[in-house]
Structure 1
């Protein structure tokens, strides 16, 4: 006969909340979150210095358009190499299954929270800007 462990309802109600508070949240743990430099979309201006990301890490980045021109940011290969948790625009949270590009018709800011997944080299670019308006990204 196997011994059984019987826990009272009172013990469970006091132990479980304490266990939940101490338990790590995995990929969403605060220790696994990193903020990336803001991407600023402006007519003819570079997008920023290259990023080196680590697979399995949660990142947040703000993308801001200054309104100087209608600008898109495209990078389908990169967007398929990450898992997008949410996109926030003016307090509205969007949880997409995928993304190909975003476009700003006027000035504004959006925030994207994502987990880097697939190692490789990727590029975000503005289709209008040529090579000067690219952001090189490496996921290790």
Structure 2
């Protein structure tokens, strides 16, 4: 019993030294959600007849991203991309200061002008897309790759 107690005390004494080991704390206290692992993406714009984005998105698996989806209200528009939404983990969706933490997502729709911010971690490598449903133009489709 005394031997176990002494061993426990020795382990407790070693804890501060273990906590100071920089190799064990590469991601910081929050791991994948830490500020050092976060990247802001260029916004997606929903506007009648306008391109969704300037260029395809290239994401890195394990990185936390934030993207704004902005609608100008010129038309009721949606974005659909179930394959993409199943390849990411959505941390939160923020709309006018309201935070939503969904278990999953298939699409989003704007009936009027507004902005939505989506925070997520890219998980499953592959090629995906978001698109305006019912559209056939390439500018109404955003190609996304996760590496």
What interval of TM-score do these two structures reach, taking the shorter chain for normalisation? 0.7 to 0.9
Structure 2 residues without counterparts, runs of 5 or longer: none
- Distance in 1 (alpha carbons) for counterparts of 2:110 and 2:102: 18
- Does the residue aligned with 2:61 lie in a helix, a strand or coil? coil
- Residue aligning to 1:136: 143
- Residue aligning to 1:105: 111
1:44 equivalent in alignment to 2:75: no
- Distance in 2 (alpha carbons) for counterparts of 1:33 and 1:64: 20
Structure 1 residues without counterparts, runs of 5 or longer: 9-14
Aligned pairs, number: 131
- Does the residue aligned with 1:67 lie in a helix, a strand or coil? coil
Contact 1:44 1:129 in 2 (8 A): no
Q: CA offset at residue 127 of structure 1?
A: 1.2
**Structure 1 consecutive aligned stretches of length 4 or more whose deviation exceeds 4 Å:** none
- Distance in 1 (alpha carbons) for counterparts of 2:74 and 2:136: 17
Q: Out of 79, 93, 97, which is 1:91 matched to?
A: 97
Q: CA offset at residue 130 of structure 1?
A: 1.9
- TM-score, length-scaled by structure 1: 0.86
- TM-score, length-scaled by structure 2: 0.82
